[in-house]
């Protein structure tokens, strides 16, 4: 559920700017109603206030009367929703816009070393080469360069789950052959490879569970 528009109330004293103080009891009642409805404020990007009395030469008042509220189910289905306060042009209210799938770039994820990388055949060579390239630079620059190199290196590899799925599909095709035509050598090789990748995936989730 999404509730969006001019709700004619503020939810915090700092959502009003002007000569008269905000009515705290009205704020409290409005916040209580929003809570009872199971709604939360989705926030905004843009100017802080969405309404003004336009008395610019006397008692100018600005308030955030327009907002976008949603319940938990909405936030779960549309986790990237973004609310924009657009410019106030021809009215005393600013139009607000909600985009359910924001095109804004996601913040960069912090670098995290994953233990299973150590079992990859080309890991040590890649890491040693990146480290040696910055032999004359300060330590913090060397580690940053190493992290960048490892992120580029791991992006070129197929995700572990995808590797498992491809092996399982190949095994399924082999085992669909008549028994006398099954290539047991290849079957055994694929099974061992599957087991090796499964160990890496187990190590990944073990490390992840420690983080959280």
Handedness of CA 33, 39, 44, 50 (dihedral sign): negative
* Whole-model pTM over 0.75: no
Token reading at 152: 């580029």
pLDDT class for 211, splitting at 50, 70, 90? low
pLDDT in tens, 86-129: 888 778 898 899 998 755 555 677 888 999 999 999 999 999 99
| CB contact at 8 A, 83 and 96 | yes
pLDDT class for 147, splitting at 50, 70, 90? very high
Q: What is the mean pLDDT of the chain?
A: 90
pLDDT of residue 103: 55
- Name the class of domain 2-99: alpha beta
Q: Which of 89-98, 156-165, 196-205 has the lowest mean pLDDT?
A: 89-98
Q: Once rounded to an integer, what is the mean pLDDT over residues 181-208?
A: 91
pLDDT of residue 137: 94
pLDDT of residue 172: 87
Q: Once rounded to an integer, what is the mean pLDDT over residues 59-63?
A: 89
Q: Once rounded to an integer, what is the mean pLDDT over residues 14-28?
A: 93
pLDDT of residue 111: 86
What's the maximum distance between 2 C-alpha atoms anywhere in the chain? 95
Q: CATH 3.60.10.10 in the chain, residues?
A: 2-99
| Cα–Cα separations (whole angstroms), residue 37 to 10, 41, 54, 75 | 16, 12, 33, 15
pLDDT class for 24, splitting at 50, 70, 90? very high
Q: Once rounded to an integer, what is the mean pLDDT over residues 192-209?
A: 91
pLDDT of residue 23: 94
pLDDT of residue 179: 76
């Amino acid at each position: 559920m999404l509730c969006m528009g001019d709700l004619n109330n503020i939810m915090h004293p700092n959502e009003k700017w002007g000569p008269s103080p905000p009515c705290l009891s009205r704020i409290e009642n409005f916040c209580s109603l929003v809570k009872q409805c199971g709604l939360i404020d989705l926030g905004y990007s843009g100017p802080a206030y969405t309404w003004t009395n336009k008395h610019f030469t006397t008692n100018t008042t600005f308030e955030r009367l327009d907002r976008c509220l949603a319940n938990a189910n909405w936030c779960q289905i549309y986790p990237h929703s973004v609310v924009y306060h657009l410019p106030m042009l021809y009215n005393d209210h600013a139009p607000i816009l909600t985009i359910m799938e924001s095109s804004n770039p996601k913040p960069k994820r912090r670098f995290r070393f994953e233990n299973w990388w150590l079992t990859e055949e080309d890991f040590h060579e890649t890491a040693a080469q990146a480290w040696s390239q910055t032999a004359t630079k300060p330590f913090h620059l060397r580690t940053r360069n190493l992290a960048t190199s490892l992120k580029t290196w791991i992006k070129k590899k197929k995700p572990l789950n995808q590797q498992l799925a491809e092996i399982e599909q190949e095994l399924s095709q082999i085992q669909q052959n008549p028994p006398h035509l099954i290539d047991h050598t290849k079957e055994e090789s694929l099974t061992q490879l599957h087991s090796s990748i499964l160990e890496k995936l187990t190590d990944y989730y073990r490390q992840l569970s420690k983080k959280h």
